[in-house]
Amino acid sequence: MNCLFCRIINNEIPSKKIYEDDKILVFLDINPKASGHMLIIPKTHYTNIEDIDLDVLKHINDISKKIYQLLKDKLHIDGITICQNNGISQEIKHFHMHLIPNYINNNSLSLEEVYKVLTRE
């Protein structure tokens, strides 16, 4: 299948992975709206909210809570917007949840700097 996010899951296209398990992958958005902007995607291809399995959706929500905590701990974010586009609002037709940090003071780290901060022990 010629799906960009399926190719990321299959390691055919590189990504900055933050978390992975048997059901989902979390990685940094290549064009972040704020430092630490991430996407959570299911490893099975679903197009959007219309066809995603509800157990997988629950798992994505569970992980989004953990990632919010990680972003608070490591990047000291002050808030987060969690959203998901469908239909004409959606560019990539593989379900993805956006996690977009909000900061009181602007935090403009590069993708590489964000990756280092989030992945160091």
Q: Which residues are catalytic?
A: 96
CA–CA dist 56, 100 (Å, integer): 21
Choice between 64 and 90, CB closer to ligand AMP: 90
Residues in the chain: 121
Residue ranges in contact with ligand AMP by CB under 6 A: 4, 13, 15, 29-31, 39, 85, 90-92
Q: How far is the CB of 13 from ligand AMP (least distance, A)?
A: 6
Q: How far is the CB of 3 from ligand AMP (least distance, A)?
A: 11
Contact 28, 37 (CB under 8 A): yes
Q: How far is the CB of 36 from ligand AMP (least distance, A)?
A: 13
Contact 8, 27 (CB under 8 A): yes
CA–CA dist 25, 4 (Å, integer): 13
Q: How far is the CB of 69 from ligand AMP (least distance, A)?
A: 22
Give DSSP secondary structure letters for 58-110.
HHHHHHHHHHHHHHHHHH--SEEEEE---GGG-SSSS--EEEEEE-SS-----
